Amino acid sequence: MSFSVNTNTGAQVALQYLNATQGQLDQTQARINSGLKVATAKDDGAIYAIAQNQRGSVAGYSSVINSLNNGSSAIDVALSAGQSISDLLIQLKQKALSAADPSLDTASRQALNANFTALRDQISTIVKNAVFNNFNLVDGSTNQVQALASSDGTRRITAQAQNLKLSGSIVTIKTTSTISTQAKASALISVIQTSLTNVNSALAKLSSGAAKFSIQATFTQKLSDIRLLPLWYAHVFASFVPDGSRKYSI
């Protein structure tokens, strides 16, 4: 007795096409879910290796940009402090000029001196509190602020600090300076003017440092964007979103 099985060739062909279609749908769904055309080394080992190398470079540039932003913030705090000190020096000069008037009575001069010493001490308060991320660029505790300038960590960019403390080489007003007498007030006028000129020069130097950091950050961002371009063709999968725009993921 023989045994036979009837097959439906058409059904088998249809099943093969269905399985192939399902496989393609699964692949497409995986790309939509991950946003990647090549999500793993199994998809395409060569392209995956290229993409991983590019990711490494982009991650490096991201760290550089963060470092530059931190440095820029420290400089911005120093600039803010310097501007406040410059404004205070203008007020101190005004008080000294008023106290230098020989016709001023004692009570008025004492009032001016009290105001003068309060403004003088405020300079020290500003210098002490001009801190960002443990960096103080105006109290003499450091000579410079430094940040990464390359993704391999071998290059740095620096900006010089400026010591704006009282009794220093920039702000030459002493911590004990007063305008309690007409003679002291007269002598302080030129000292205050010199300090004001020095502080404004220091602000210009800090501003130059801020510009360096900003330019380097912009340049680094462009380098990072350029690194992403090869991935556009080799690795990036574009999926449509409901509003009709495209969303590109890496």
pLDDT tens across 49-101, in order?
666 666 666 777 888 999 999 999 999 999 999 999 999 999 999 999 999 99
Fold of 45-234: f41 fragment of flagellin, N-terminal domain (1.20.1330)
Amino acid of residue 228: L
**How many whole angstroms separate alpha carbon 224 and alpha carbon 226?**
5
pLDDT of residue 223: 82
Q: Are 177 and 195 in contact (CB under 8 A)?
A: no
Residue ranges covered by each domain of the chain: 45-234
Written as tens digits, the pLDDT of the chain (250 aa) is 566 555 666 667 676 777 777 766 765 665 555 556 666 666 666 666 666 666 666 777 888 999 999 999 999 999 999 999 999 999 999 999 999 999 999 999 999 999 999 999 999 999 999 999 999 999 999 999 999 998 888 899 999 999 999 999 999 999 999 999 999 999 999 999 999 999 999 999 999 999 999 999 999 888 877 766 555 444 444 444 445 444 444 4
Tracing tokens 């574009």 back to the chain, one arrives at 238
Count of C-beta atoms within a 10 Å radius of residue 99:
26
* pTM: predicted TM-score of the whole model, two decimal places: 0.73
Q: Which residues have C-beta within 8 Å of that of residue 129, sequence separation ≥ 6?
A: 81
pLDDT of residue 152: 83
The torsion angles phi and psi of 36, rounded to 5 degrees, stand at: -120, 135
